[in-house]
Amino acid sequence: MKELIDILKRDRNLLPKEFAALINGMTNEDALYLKEQAYKVKEQFFGNKVFTRGLIEFTNYCKNDCYYCGIRRSNVNAVRYRLTLEDILSCCEEGYKLGFRTFVLQGGEDLRYTDEDIEEICCSIKNKYPDCAITLSIGEKSYDSYKRYKEAGADRYLLRHETADEEHYRLLHPDSLSLKERKQCLWNLKELGYQVGTGFMVGSPYQTPQCIAKDLAFIKELEPAMVGIGPFLPHHDTPFKDYPKGSYELTLRLISIIRLMIPNGLIPATTALGTIHPKGREEGISWGANVVMPNLSPVRVRKQYELYDNKICTGDEAAECRFCLERRMLSVGHEIVTARGDFIPYTFEA
Ligand code: SAM
Ligand code: FES
């Protein structure tokens, strides 16, 4: 296994069957070796700096019905909310004071917001805070819509591919959604010049090591700027309520694998990782992550953006969350920086 890890570090890639072997067959000792290598690579590119993004969950209405997600259309128990432009701008105002220079606008696929609305949100944020980056994470849209958002000031886009295996994709989603479409959206976003983020859940129902090997191969092919992964966590009002949560250890190992694949990549220690384990985000950083995304949404709506059970940080004010994370990062020798933290392309030797 150590040999495979060395090859991964050198080539920033492995064959799918090698990825599957690595995922399946690592001992704890191998994993610690992997962690050490990933940490070194991260240090080389980013030192002990961690970038921070202010997350604004602006709507939990969604037209989709993904079987894993707590805000899926069919969940009649979800208490729905939408933030207005004024609400969003006041989150940004507070976030700006706290030092955030990237705002991530995430939401369900809510058709109430037209392209004009999203353009207006982007333009207004950019007008007020020209030194800030805007990341959108609002699902699958047409090429033309993505183009309009970009022209209105959006810089980055997060759209996890969720799984790169066709059969697995069908088991996680209703027929209205397709992996082909999802991937096409990611290619479109890249073509339009966004810094693109993709990712997947670790341990979603029916996932196999082969599925993960395909996820990694797809990530290699796409060459995203950002990769977000977190464990699958069940939500009590979804068809997957009785499935076990994903593995914490495997999520950490995958963070290291992805760090070795994309040394200069932006890899968050996700909220799901912090939910599955009280020290999840700190550990994520120690295994190679370099981004944290504290919540800036108004506390009154926090609990309602419930993708899975027991989500953390739902009762904390933005400032509490920001300083809590600062302390947490310090506890593992890292420092939060307030720079925009754009992806910086790097040419690797052949
Ligand atoms: N609607 C946008 C989209 O589809 O990209 C953004 C919001 S979506 C709720 C954000 C991410 O939450 C998804 O990409 C998915 O990976 C993650 N997620 C949803 N349900 C989850 C669960 N039960 N456990 C862990 N992650 C989950
Ligand atoms: Fe949100 Fe600790 S990061 S309260």
pLDDT, tens digit only, all 350 positions of the chain: 999 999 999 999 999 999 999 999 899 999 999 999 999 999 999 999 999 999 999 999 999 999 999 999 999 999 999 999 999 999 999 999 999 999 999 999 999 999 999 999 999 999 999 999 999 999 999 999 999 999 999 999 999 999 999 999 999 999 999 999 999 999 999 999 999 999 999 999 999 999 999 999 999 999 999 999 999 999 999 999 999 999 999 999 999 999 999 999 999 999 999 999 999 999 999 999 999 999 999 999 999 999 999 999 998 888 899 999 999 999 999 999 999 999 999 998 87
Domain-located, residue 31: yes
What are φ and ψ of residue 179, in 5° steps? -65, -35
Atom index in ligand 1 nearest the CA of residue 201 equals 16
CATH of the domain at 268: 3.20.20.70
Task: Report CA torsion sign: 184, 185, 186, 190.
Answer: positive
CA-nearest residue for atom 3, ligand 2, is 321
For residue range 259-313, what is the model confidence (pLDDT) as tens digits? Answer: 999 999 999 999 999 999 999 999 999 999 999 999 999 999 999 999 999 999 9
Domain-located, residue 257: yes
204 with 278: CB under 8 angstroms?
Answer: no
Domain tally, the chain:
1
Domain-located, residue 350: no
ipTM over 0.90: yes
Domain-located, residue 139: yes
Among 271, 282, 296, 320, residue to substitute to test ligand 2 (most atoms within 8 Å of Cβ): 320
Contact residues for 343 (Cβ-Cβ < 8 A; gap 6+): 195, 225, 226, 264, 265, 266
Residue 142 and residue 123: Cα distance in Å, rounded?
A: 19
Domain-located, residue 58: yes
Domain-located, residue 143: yes
Domain-located, residue 345: no
Burial 254-263 (b: 16+ CB within 10 A, else e): bbbbbbbbbb
Starting from the CA of residue 70, give the closest ligand: 1
- 313 ligand 2 Cβ < 6 A: yes
For residue range 142-176, what is the model confidence (pLDDT) as tens digits? Answer: 999 999 999 999 999 999 999 999 999 999 999 99
The whole domain housing 271 covers 2-337
In terms of C-beta density within 10 A (0-12 exposed, 13-18 middle, 19 or more buried), how is residue 309 classed? middle
Domain-located, residue 249: yes
